[in-house]
Amino acid sequence: MEMQKYKNPSWNKIKYEEVEKLVIEMAKHGMSLEMIGLVLRDKYGIPTARVYGKKLGKILKEHGLEQKSDLAYVNKKLETLKKHLEKNKHDKKSKRKLAILTGRVRKLKRYYDKN
């Protein structure tokens, strides 16, 4: 099976350098990778950053702005679950979910410490 090749559409007139500047600017303003991709698609008409040969994460990593969005997402979910459990102490399903999420956070932290 051959990997899909991403080609820059003929109607897309934005150069790679401009996209790189946009991505860095948005990341400095605190936007997540997912949100940056949505803005590029909706506002600038760029279907995917891969048409320029690099993923968004790789662009940010080269400029020292690497984001660990999966860890941030799980931490946010963990905090909301803890708040829920403060109000609803007998919610057994949420207690189980809390244990699962805590383990997931530990795994992700170990993964990012190794890499």
Parse the chain into domains and list their residue ranges.
Answer: 16-62, 69-114
Q: Does pTM surpass 0.75?
A: no
User: Residue 92 pLDDT more than 90?
Assistant: yes
CA distance 16 to 108: 32
CA distance 18 to 53: 14
Give residue 46's pLDDT.
82
Sign of CA dihedral 73, 79, 81, 84: negative
Give residue 72's pLDDT.
84
Three-state DSSP at 78 gives helix
